[in-house]
Structure 1
Amino acid sequence: MAIDRLDANFFRVRFDRLTPSEKTFLRAIAELGAGPYRFRDVATGMGVESSTLGPVRAKMIKDGMIYSPAHGLLNFTVPIFDGFLRRIMPDQAILDEG
């Protein structure tokens, strides 16, 4: 299947470079369904203030994982990456860094 090859050879490589907190942040975005996503909704879904997610958001933009199509909005740079995150992390669990 094409999606299995994408998961193993493309998405997994990107995913494996992420820290646990980055994985959690991106998984919270994916939980919202199809993008673009409101940054405020991501924070609400994670149960945190938007300001606490600023650094991870900035790093994910810098690393090319997400982009901001308009003020207050986020989207994945790679189409269907949200589906991969839901498959690889079926539970939207908060991961520990340690």
Structure 2
Amino acid sequence: MDGDFSHGADADRRRAEKATALARFAWDRAIGGAELLALPDDRLRKLARAAGVNPPSTRETWNLAAELLDRKSEWAGRHPDDPRSVPAHADEKIMWVKRPPPAWT
């Protein structure tokens, strides 16, 4: 038996379930895939807890969540009139993704 528990059918299924939960939470807050991957580790852990999942131990799950977000964004672009294409809590994005401060002029 291979001692690597991080890969295999069960691990892949759990990773996909966790990534889906993370992507749903991020989507509802209008966080895109690139924005998700740019978050610092401490904020990613907080986001995971807020989404109701244990923080992933590897970047694989975050990468999968970002890929799901990108797919959802593409789908939303093709279906702008569908209510599911609008994030439910977009106003909460600022809690997770901080805008850069304005440049001094």
Q: Which has the larger radius of gyration?
A: 2
The structure with the greater share of residues assigned to strand is 1
The structure with the greater share of residues assigned to helix is 2
